[in-house]
Chain A
Amino acid sequence: MKRNGRKKIAAFIIMVFMLAIVAGCGGETKDTGDNAGDKAEKINVGVNVELSGGVASYGSNARDGAILAIEQANADGGVLGMQINPIERDCKSVADEAMSVSAALVGEKIVAQIGPLTSGNVAGSTPVMMDNKIPLIAPAATAANVTVDDKTGATRDYIFRVCFIDPFQGTLMAQFAADNLQAKSAVIYCDNSSDYGKGLAEYFEKTFIEKGGKIVAKEGFVKDDRDFRAALTKIKGLNPDFIYVPGYYQEVAPLIKQARELGITAPIGGPDGWDSPDMVSVAGNEALNNTYFTNHYSSQDQDPNVVKFVEAYKAKYNKDPDAFAALGYDAVQIMIQGLKDAGEADSVKLTEALENITDFQGITGKMSIDEQHNPVKAGVVIEFKDGKQVMNTRIQP
């Protein structure tokens, strides 16, 4: 009798789980049904970003930027007389989940998708967007092959981005180091766990060598490292003219701090991933002197658009925006511009409109979309001076 009872419990539990599975799938279909009815008065936009997993902080900042842009647009009466309805989903920082989420969003009848952040996760959702002919606007996927197929050289029709690509920034910093800083030797200390760091390092190296410079050492760190002194001690011994640190501010800020603590005085340079108020609060004003980074805008820019964005962001989220937030905001802005140009909320028409965007004034600069779906926008080299970001050089594309 007792054995029988236990078996019944087991069977019961299994049945409950089966029910849960069915309910789970069922819930998904019901959602689709509900939203299909809403389509008339709402424009559904998918926000497929990393809210959990390794790069959750990038994804949620970009989400915050994107949602701010959508709320502002809705407060101004929406687009084409309709309100934008953002549908937020978490892709767990993995490519397969990004694909699944995109497919779920397609079921929600979205006209465009914002995100994911990293190149790999964008690649995950690429096939779904291509199959369904829905444009994807990537806020921060910098790898060159996100929008262009390596093998054929063909542009991926429905993938767009609003950020710089790796070759641009890497080359820019190499030129700056060689020409403006007169550096002859450089060390590359890159974020080895991301394609971003690796990609930038590659192009920096190429240009720097072309300019007659010498790369004396290549070192790497991985995401979430906080101790860099071992490699920095080694770099100190090499005494380079310049140190290139392509990576994100979470790692770079303590890295610069430790470099200065160890007595490294050489100029340090990096990409737009440095852009965050945390740079100053972690590394300190003094350590940041003689450091430079390439960017499309400065959050301390006096441009009224930028000032307005920074204020609105601070008011809503009670924190300063970083580069991800700004790019998430611009991704939505450019989508709204595209919708206006297209004249109707149709994903194929929106794609055509996005392809033809020229001189769009975003907060990360004035941009035009080229044939490869990359934004053409001016780059700037920003220098930290006593904790303030100062524009050093502006380079038009």
Chain B
Amino acid sequence: MTILVLCALIFGVGMYTVLTRREIIAILAGVELMLGSANVLFIALASFSGADPGVAGAIGLVILVVAAAEAAVGLALVVTLSRRSKRSSIDELTEVNG
């Protein structure tokens, strides 16, 4: 039960970060919080349900790799965006074209 509350709480904190922060990199950090807590919760539930730990570990690894790849691409986008518009606050990045 503790692990469920912990992961759900951190998922909520991550979502709060995404909703309230105005800086793109902070928002990406919030997304990483959500993905990390979801991964831990997945592994925890697998251990509670008595599933095969090899499969649980494999799926956990898949989640980890996908989240890391997505973070890399997201950061590349942030860097290119800031080069073109010299801004990184999402309040100011409001136009789609340029």
Q: Do A and B come from one complex?
A: no
